[in-house]
Chain A
Amino acid sequence: MITAEQKPMQEIIQYLAPYSKILLVGCNECVTVCAAGGRKEVGLLASALHLNSLKQGKTIDIKEITLERQCDPEYVEELTSYIDAADAVLSMSCGCGVQTIATRFKQAHVYPAVNTKFMGASLSQGVWAERCQGCGDCMLGITAGICPVSRCSKSLLNGPCGGTSNGQCEIGPETDCAWRLIWERLKELGIEGRYEALVDAKDWRPAGGAGPRKIIREDLAL
């Protein structure tokens, strides 16, 4: 999923300072699962913003709504009946959702309430770790299901660097050396011979090196 974390409260308050009618929009997808911008977080942030304005003797009108997906125009369309009544839109989705709203409603002042972090997997409740960088040319088939692009700090493709120490990465003891993990898993699976096969220099154009990426499915596009 795409992971995110709520922005510092004071940054959000600064964004909203000029406005009194806010449309606070959550998203039912990734940010709900990583507890950054679902219905629950929308409620909590709205409550915090109410407390802040009440302390200043002001009232702030906050309309809370959580869409099924903020990155799809058909769901964003549901905001049509609320958008005119709002001075500003505060989105709790990833950057994709914020931009979908800004694209659909040209006149709306749209602000993000979360910082989008990475594509990650849940390790345990409340813990998420980066597992994919969307390089556009998946290598997991030759690296025993462990991604060197996202999990090696240098995205090395042919074994570890000299910075690996006792199986950990030199950036910190809490980070496993991805290539140690790959080697151990290759051995466990009895296919350590694959480690000898050299990987050619990676073409980083599908990873974004050739500019913003797009997928067009002719069979689906109307």
Chain B
Amino acid sequence: MENYEPEIVAFCCHYCAYTAADMAGSKRISYPANVKIIRVPCTGKVDAIHIMKALEKGADGVYVAGCLEGDCHFKTGNARARLRVARVQKILEDLGWEKERVAMINMSAGMGERFAKTAFEFTEKIKSLGPNPISQGKIEVQAVS
């Protein structure tokens, strides 16, 4: 597991986190390549099923990055996203998974440094949690067969 590099999906709002990632690029601030960005028009567009499907397809961690509280371009999209992330966390807990694999993060468009810092911190957190539990299932099956 030493060379384990997690796959992380980040749903980023067009008006803040995605622009912040762009800002990080413009400022030549690097962030881990583990983070794969999916641009969304607003984090309110991200539904619980999108996060679940990312995990089902093997993502080791998923975060939703939206505007600062109260600053959503569409008023309440980020507040809705926070509740949906909490719902997925509850489902993961019910399944006996680590709820920390899923997170909601807030930032503004100008926070390039914060985007990079968040990407580093989340990647480290997922590294400490280990791979998505479904990959453990595959390993166990291979060991049996």
Interface on B for A, CB 8 Å cutoff? 47-49, 52-53, 55-56, 91, 94-95, 97, 133-134, 136-141, 144
Tell me which of A48-56, A75-83, A209-217 binds B: A48-56
B134 touches A55 (CB 8 A): yes
Given contacts A48-B91, A50-B56, whether A55 and B49 have CB atoms under 8 Å apart is no
Tell me which of A39-47, A129-137, A175-183, A184-192 binds B: A39-47
A-B contact pairs, 18 of them (CB 8 A): A9-B91, A9-B95, A40-B47, A40-B49, A43-B49, A44-B48, A44-B49, A44-B52, A44-B91, A47-B52, A50-B56, A51-B52, A51-B55, A54-B133, A55-B95, A56-B137, A56-B140, A57-B141
Answer yes or no: A194 CB below 8 A from chain B CBs. Answer: no
A54 touches B52 (CB 8 A): no
What is the total of A-B residue contacts with beta carbons within 8 Å? 50
- Which 5 A-B residue pairings sit nearest by Cβ, starting from the closest? A9-B94, A57-B137, A57-B141, A54-B134, A47-B52
Answer yes or no: A14 CB below 8 A from chain B CBs. Answer: no
Interface of A is mostly: helix
- A44 contacts which chain B residues (CB < 8 A)? 48-49, 52, 91
A8 to B95, CA, bound (A): 10
A51 touches B53 (CB 8 A): no
- A57 contacts which chain B residues (CB < 8 A)? 137-141, 144
Interface on A for B, CB 8 Å cutoff? 8-10, 40, 43-44, 47-48, 50-58
Q: Quick one: closest A residue to B47, CB to CB?
A: A40
A8 to B96, CA, bound (A): 13
How close is A46's CB to chain B, nearest CB, in angstroms? 9
A43 to B56, CA, bound (A): 12
A10 to B94, CA, bound (A): 7
Given contacts A54-B137, A55-B136, A56-B137, whether A47 and B95 have CB atoms under 8 Å apart is no
- B139 contacts which chain A residues (CB < 8 A)? 57
- B48 contacts which chain A residues (CB < 8 A)? 44
- B49 contacts which chain A residues (CB < 8 A)? 40, 43-44, 47
A57 to B139, CA, bound (A): 8
A54 to B53, CA, bound (A): 13
A44 to B94, CA, bound (A): 13
- A9 contacts which chain B residues (CB < 8 A)? 91, 94-95
Given contacts A44-B48, A47-B49, whether A55 and B94 have CB atoms under 8 Å apart is no
A43 to B139, CA, bound (A): 27
How close is B18's CB to chain A, nearest CB, in angstroms? 25
